[in-house]
Amino acid sequence: MHIRSGMKRATVAVVAAVALTLGLASCSGDAAAGGLATLAPDRALPSDTQKQLQSAVEDAMTATGSSGAIVGVWVPWSGSWQKGLGTVSPDSKTPVDVDMTFRAGPVTRAMTCDVLYTLADKGTVKLDDPVTDYVGGMPQFTDVTLTQLCDGTSGLGSYDAMLEDQSVTNPARAWDPRELVGYGVGDVSGDVKPGMSYRDSDAGYLLLGLALERATGKTLAELYEKDVFAPLGMSHTQLPGDAAALPVVDSSAALHGFYLASKTKSGAYECTKQTDISEASASYGGADSGVVSDIADLATYAHALAAGTLVQSKTRFAAPLQLSSSLPSWITTSGGAVQAGSFIGEYGSARGYLTAAFSDPKSGLTVVVVLNNSTAGDTVIAALARELAAIAVQAPATSGEKAVAVGMPWTAAQAHDVIADEAICAAPEK
């Protein structure tokens, strides 16, 4: 489900300084200070910037076979732009609305780690507690700590690598997280020593979620609501139950999600034959990728995550690890988040959706985007977030404001080229 190729690099000193500069609190009681209202002036971005942003998203929609997208860009010195593009489904004439909800995918990982650090702040758990203190029947993991599960350094593998076909053909199935963790345990790598190196592991986040539930006697949905959603005023975000359903929160309309199953004899995807997988069980993603949200809530969240608003820890992003030796050194991960340059956030796929949410803690520049076809994989959505950020950083300052330098070791053109290289669909012939 998550083929990492993404984003990160921020220091604790920068995060702390930004929290003071922006007036953001380091405890959950005042976390709403990092909300949407602080992200940008109450004005639209210049029309030329909007056109560039929209063009970038539309090109990515074409490359991925997505019928719809929702995007939000907030530039504190200039303005903001939020828009729904395309249609809810390929066969629908219903336009995408910016307020529609969707699956947030691996942004959920950072939220699971927020809960861990919040509980550690309260003394309910310790960051270096072995996971076996809370989840039994796993004697081989006595050296794996809660922090290592959050950081992706536990050595556990992926259940999705083995269950992808089942999850696609039977999306309504309710999965027991212990069963999914079992597949990840079966995929443990002997080359990874706990705490030493990063390995992308959906099973690790599900195991962390189980431990947090056992430590508190509360469900993960209750923990998210208490420690993340409510403090930040994220009223259109939740972890759904196990029943298969559209990603709807309260009475909101949902952006439908799709994947491509058919290929031609040459091996190319048949981009006109899309399968709707919107009504899937969130249990397959759970603490790894199960949360449902909207653009405004994810912008609030990304801003708070980057600024360190929800938790008191000064070590969460202090020792980032490179995602892969084949990727640039500025792409790292720590604390359930990914960094690219100075941006902190998360990105990836949940069945039918590609989602990214990133914010720069120094400037506050924030980008959130979702595409409604997950087939192309994580590389595209990571590159699109970078392209949008590179366009947005060039937006001129409005009267009385001053642009802030942003650490961005890539250009919009470079990110755009990545999307073109990863394209699985071509523009329809006119």
Which positions ≥6 away from 74 have C-beta within 8 Å?
A: 36, 39, 40, 80, 299, 303, 364, 365, 366, 367
Q: List the pLDDT tens digit at each of the 430 positions of the chain.
A: 554 543 332 222 223 333 323 333 333 334 344 445 568 888 999 999 999 999 999 999 999 999 999 999 999 999 999 999 999 999 999 999 999 999 999 999 999 999 999 999 999 999 999 999 999 998 889 999 999 999 999 999 999 999 999 999 999 999 999 999 999 998 876 655 788 889 999 999 999 999 999 999 999 999 999 999 999 999 999 999 999 999 999 999 999 999 998 888 888 999 999 999 999 999 999 999 999 999 999 999 999 999 999 999 989 999 999 887 877 889 999 999 999 999 999 999 999 999 999 999 999 999 999 999 999 999 999 999 999 999 999 999 998 899 998 989 999 999 999 999 999 999 876 5
- 408-416: long-range contacts, CB 8 A cutoff, minimum separation 24: 408/341, 408/342, 408/343, 409/328, 409/330, 409/341, 410/340, 410/341, 410/386, 412/52, 412/56, 412/387, 415/383, 415/384, 415/386, 415/387, 415/390, 416/56, 416/59, 416/383, 416/387
With beta carbons less than 8 A apart as the criterion, state whether 154 and 204 touch.
yes
Domains annotated on the chain, with CATH: 12-422 (3.40.710.10)
Q: Can you spell out the DSSP letters for 317-340?
A: TSS-EES-TTS-TTEEEETTEEEE
**Which residue type occupies 7?**
M
Q: Which two tokens stand for residue 407?
A: 């650490």
With beta carbons less than 8 A apart as the criterion, state whether 75 and 39 touch.
no
Q: What is the model's pLDDT at position 2? A: 52
